[in-house]
Amino acid sequence: EIVLTQSPATLSLSPGERATLSCRASQSVSSSLAWYQQKPGQPPRLLIFEASRRATGIPARFSGSGSGTDFTLTISSLEPEDFAVYYCQQRNWPPTFGGGTKVEIK
Amino acid sequence: EVQLMESGGGLIQPGGSLRLSCAASGLVVSGTYMNWVRQAPGKGLEWVSLIYSGDNTYYVDSVKGRFTISRDHSKNTVFLQMNNLRAEDTAVYYCVGAVSFAYYFDYWGRGTLVTVSS
């Protein structure tokens, strides 16, 4: 099973700032990685798949990069609605999720 | 618009059984990779099970032999039969559709809470 480690656990930023979230895989997953956003009381929402492709309806301020074992989700300028928990997920069998990064208001 | 509506959660004693249902609209379950993903209270996400064409089914190791995923084409509904439940199965269970790629989770229901406790 591939283990995904996300860092930092918590990111304290102000609206308008740039957020950089990291996800590291215990072995190569090629580009088979997705990012999700989850707000309290809501299910997760797919943001990015195949490491860098935005899902339908996702704003351009969200971008993904990386391949192999190291991946990054960047939010170019934080909007108030972006404060949430973000999870990475790899799709090799069995699919696994990272532990999450909470982006909170500073 | 795709909607997935879970039901069937509740409080159950250890060793008991529950059957979760996921009624789908806006997508056809027989042509979609349908999954269950769970989230323990205050914790992260864990993929649980998948069913796709030809009734191929897959499970995370921790539920193998205890959980069974199935679907009813006529009702456009997916089920998760959960037997011999344990405290560690306590979680919100989400029904999730993967349309674009297997194991990229495009559509999520709002979840149903399963609490295993005496």
pLDDT in tens, B58-85: 999 999 999 999 999 999 999 999 999 9
Contact call for residues A2 and A27 (beta carbons, < 8 A): yes
CB-based contact (8 Å) between B64 and chain A? no
Exposure string of B30-63, with b = 16+ CB inside 10 Å and e = fewer, is bebbbbbbbbeeeebbbbbbbbbeeeeebbbeeb
Q: Closest by alpha carbon to B97, among B19, B23, B46?
A: B23
Q: Closest by alpha carbon to A101, among A23, A46, A45?
A: A23
- In this prediction, residue B110 has a pLDDT band, given cuts at 50, 70 and 90, of very high
Q: How many CB atoms lie within 10 A of CB A7?
A: 13
Given CA atoms B89, B92, B93, B98 in this order, what sign does their dihedral have?
A: negative
Are A43 and B94 in contact (CB < 8 Å)? yes
In the numeric block, which tokens belong to residue A19? 């957020």
Chain centroid to CA A65: 10
pLDDT at B105: 95
CB-based contact (8 Å) between A64 and chain B? no
Nearest to A95 among B61, B103, B110 (CB): B103
Are B105 and A34 in contact (CB < 8 Å)? yes
pLDDT at B55: 78
CB-based contact (8 Å) between A86 and chain B? no
Are B45 and A94 in contact (CB < 8 Å)? no
For A56, residues 6+ apart whose C-beta sits below 8 A from its C-beta are none
Instruction: Give the model confidence (pLDDT) of A45-101 as tens digits.
Output: 999 999 999 999 999 999 999 999 999 999 999 999 999 999 999 999 899 999 999
Q: Which residues of B touch A46 (CB under 8 A)?
A: 104-106
What's the rounded Cα separation, in Å, for the pair B110 and B108?
Answer: 7
In the numeric block, which tokens belong to residue B115? 């609490």
Q: Is the pLDDT of residue B102 over 90?
A: no
CB-based contact (8 Å) between B58 and chain A? yes
In the numeric block, which tokens belong to residue B29? 């379950």
